Amino acid sequence: MSKRKVSRRQSWRIEKIQKERTERANRLDTLIDERLEGGELGVEQNGLVISHFGKQLDVEALDGDDAGRIIRCHMRTHLGQLVTGDRVVWRASPDGGVVVAVRPRHSQLQRPNNHANSNRLRPTSTKSLSPWHLNPERTPT
């Protein structure tokens, strides 16, 4: 397979867009750091990751005044890969929340990928159900 050929103008445009995205991400990290240092964020609370949307997470508050509520939170860049089911520490902010730490996992479900590494799918519980039927009934057609 040959390398994709782009014109000089196209390559300039690609570089420009990548630079803008990097600057935008850095600004967001700087804003979160300023809020952490400035005291604009609330107290630390425990939460559970419900869903993952790129750099944002839906976190269910496990304690405090917001217990049971689902909050859209930004994720700090140093946290690594978070998956649904992770227990986290988050702080409330004016526009949702910020995940500041991850609790240790007790177990996790993994699968190998094409590069001989393993992908984390989700932390697992001690019990699981497998919806498989060993002897399916055959029906005449």
Domains of the chain: 9-116 (2.40.50.140)
Residue 14 corresponds to which tokens in the numbers above? Answer: 């690609």
- 133 vs 31: which has the higher pLDDT: 31
Tokens standing for residue 55: 């750099």
**pLDDT band for position 43 (cuts 50, 70, 90):** confident
Rg (CA), the chain: 21
Indicate the pTM of the whole model.
0.55
Q: Which is more confident, 129 or 19?
A: 19
Residue 2 or residue 23, greater confidence: 23
| pLDDT top residue among 81 and 71 | 71
Quote the strand ranges of the chain, DSSP E. Answer: 44-53, 56-61, 70-75, 87-93, 96-102, 109-112, 118-122
Q: What is the mean pLDDT of the chain?
A: 76
pLDDT score, position 117: 62
Q: Is pLDDT at 70 greater than 60 in this prediction? A: yes
Specify the range with the lowest mean pLDDT, choosing from 35-39, 103-107, 109-113, 118-122: 118-122
At residue 2, the pLDDT reads: 60
Query: Which segment of 90-94, 119-123, 135-139 scores lowest on mean pLDDT?
Result: 119-123
Does 47 score more than 80 pLDDT? Answer: yes
Q: How far apart are CA 23 and CA 14, in angstroms?
A: 14
What is the mean predicted confidence (pLDDT) over 48-65? 86
